[in-house]
A and B are shown apart, each in its own frame.
Chain A
Amino acid sequence: MDRFVSGHASCPGCAVALAVRFVLRSVPPDAVVVVAPSCVAIMMGPMPLSSVTVPVFHTAFETTAAAASGLARAYRARGERATVVCLAGDGGTYDIGLQALSGAAERNEDFIYVCFDNEAYQNTGNQKSSATPWGARTASTPGGKRTRKKEIMEIIAAHRIPYAATASPAHPDDLVAKVQRASEMRGTRFLLITCPCVPGWGIGDDASLRVLRLGVESRAVPLYEIEDGTRYRITHQPAGIPVAEYLGPQARFAHLSDADVAAIQADVDLRWEALQERAGRRAHGREPVGGESRV
């Protein structure tokens, strides 16, 4: 059942809107949503309208995980059932909201946190965040970003929360399965959903999913899940196409030289190797403390 209805205010061809639809369709019916200022907040609708059929709390930018902690504890104290679901962007997650997220993850607060990663502050007009990849042009990195993208999944995994996963709205079966998996657990659950941004990435309004598939198949956007911060599983085997095919259609990378693209390819290869190594270790991983946190 769709809980995110038509008539919302996303840009045409927005991947975030599609991802929100899949997420809200897959969470339990007792969902209560916390939204950080982001593209998603705009899509939720202006007062007195709402684009969703579940309760929504629009909190302050850096407080998503703290507000979710308060909500989840309040329902527990009142003896009510509710599934608290956070919807935030990469700026609200990687940057300004990281402290609250880390605190909540350390306490293993009971909520599902979804980060829609469009790799910059797209809602304010495409300024770089720490999720912006090396080389990408944004409004605040006009010459291309000179530092790499923060490895948020490693930070999250280091908290040893019950469940974390990456996902893509171009791979809906995988995405929905992960949301459902997360919904069956308790404690802090984290989903990182990569979402191409039509204006920010400089792609056509019919290109989001095509570009994202190229990202996944090039291994620049690997799809995997991590249980208890230690057990990695790659959920989609990518074809391993050159990353140039992913970068090519995006205007934000148009200025890159062949050497730049080669450097990005080398980085993608290294990251993929590291991920494979972690996933390979899975068979030998011991059952961690906190395994009982799953229902």
Chain B
Amino acid sequence: MTGVETVAGQRRMLLTGNHAVAYGALRAKPQVIPVYPITPQTPVLEKLLEFAQTGELTGEMITVESEHSAMAACIAASLAGARVFTATSSQGIALMHEMLHFAAGARTPVVMVNVNRTLAPPWGFWADQTDSLSQRDTGWMQFYCESGQEALDTVLQAYRVGESVLLPAMVVIEAMYISHTLEPVEVPGEEVVARFLPPFEPERRLDPARPLSVGNTTTPAQWRANRLAMHEAMGQALGAVAAAGRLYGELTGRGYGATESYRTEDARVVLVAAGGMAGTAREAVDRLREAGVPAGLLRLRLFRPFPAAEIATALAGAGRVAVVDRNCSIGSGGIFCQEVRAALSALGQGGNPVLSYIAGLGGVNVSPERMMQIARDALGREGTNPEPIQAEGL
């Protein structure tokens, strides 16, 4: 491994988001890795195969014939007691949809990276959050990462959380803006990771020596109990995400939470964004503050379980809230905005004026200037907007 050693065993390397993710997977020591190539995820697959070729990665790589089979193999391998990893994007995650439900229902802590990319038709290769957001109800945890560094760190945290609550976890990065952009990334050493992430040894598994059945037909009451247990596990995941983020911070100096508030104290307008766009919003907040506009940022890192209470607290004092979505639920609007509004309403903060902005659909660039424009627009508007505002039309 090249790069510069920073803290104990940690190396600073120049990596794309895709390769950062591959290093995260390498450090987690997955035992089975079923993968299928798709642009823009292919460098993840290629890097892992390279690690396998050099012997750095000792897990079984399965170059399957479809994403659907990739997830099916992940689930079965996990049930056998193996730690598994896979990565996909766009059409791939859409094809997996059935098996995403299956992974959660079977309580397998699969960790998967999804590179956000447009769904066809028409064909496109650029960032759009709809592919992963439309898997909202599958029972997967979802993390939206702002950088390659965060994606690497989150892969490791996803294993720790997923294996403690027995739910699968998705680590999401945007096509090109993160997947193919080089940045300096700190790759933690094996010893630090070993302290953070114990080996996966599930209490119950498909053990040839101790027969049990997984997935038999159930009565309505049994099915209901399984669903409620999943929901309860998601509730536990909320605390586990926070704890894992804290512990990771203690070990590496990089801590994480379900959300991140940036300069929101006394903010008259708070931009809410997830993924790479949050980094752009951070820049916009700084520039607005320099110009005397009290702006802030609430970054949503965790989407499932949805940290409703944390969001409500973070936005309690906010003047105007502008949620920026790089996605559009056709016939409704921005998905993050719907969730934020629902959370605030459910927690008695329905009075918070939350404006919905759609920006950067299909990978259209969202500049800091555009983010500043959104913040200024939100400050200048009366009431809320029933229809989402198209940021590119401002």
Contact = CB atoms under 8 A, between A and B. Distances in A.
A247 to B, nearest CB: 35
A30 interface: yes
A140 B60 CA distance: 43
B27 interface: no
B389 interface: no
Nearest to B73: A70
Contact of A55 (B31, B64, B102, B211): B211
A69 B74 CA distance: 9
A54 B75 CA distance: 19
A103 B73 CA distance: 12
A107 B31 CA distance: 18
Nearest to A82: B208
B5 interface: no
B225 to A, nearest CB: 10
Interface string B146-165: 00000000000000000000
A47 B32 contact: no
Given A46-B218, A50-B213, A103-B69, A74 B80 contact: yes
Contacts, number: 159
A66 B69 CA distance: 5
Nearest to A76: B60
A106 B31 CA distance: 22
A56 interface: yes
Contacts of A68: 76
B214 interface: yes
Contacts of B351: none
**Chain B interface bracket (under 10, 10 to 19, 20 to 34, 35 or more):** 35 or more
Contacts of B208: 30-32, 54-55, 75, 80-83
A50 to B, nearest CB: 5
B79 interface: yes
A183 interface: no
A63 B99 contact: yes
Contact of B62 (A58, A60, A69, A102): A69
Given A50-B211, A74-B82, A69 B64 contact: yes
Contacts of A45: 213, 216
B217 interface: yes
A46 B218 CA distance: 6
B77 interface: yes
Contacts of A82: 80, 208
Interface string B212-228: 11111111001000000
Q: Which of A47, A52, A53, A76 has the most CB of B within 10 A?
A: A47
Contacts of B60: 73-74, 76-77
B338 to A, nearest CB: 30
A286 interface: no
Contacts of A47: 213, 216-219, 222
Given A73-B32, A77-B31, A100-B72, A107 B63 contact: yes
Contacts of A49: 216
A63 B217 contact: no
Contacts of A67: 72-73, 75-76
Contacts of B62: 69-70, 73, 107
Given A41-B217, A57-B213, 10 more contacts: A32-B208, A34-B76, A47-B217, A56-B211, A63-B99, A70-B73, A70-B74, A74-B31, A99-B69, A103-B69
21 contacts: A49-B216, A50-B213, A50-B216, A54-B211, A56-B211, A56-B213, A58-B217, A59-B215, A60-B98, A63-B72, A63-B99, A66-B64, A69-B62, A73-B32, A73-B34, A73-B82, A74-B32, A78-B31, A100-B72, A103-B64, A103-B66
What 6 A-B pairs are tightest by C-beta distance, nearest first?
Answer: A103-B65, A70-B73, A58-B215, A66-B69, A63-B72, A74-B80
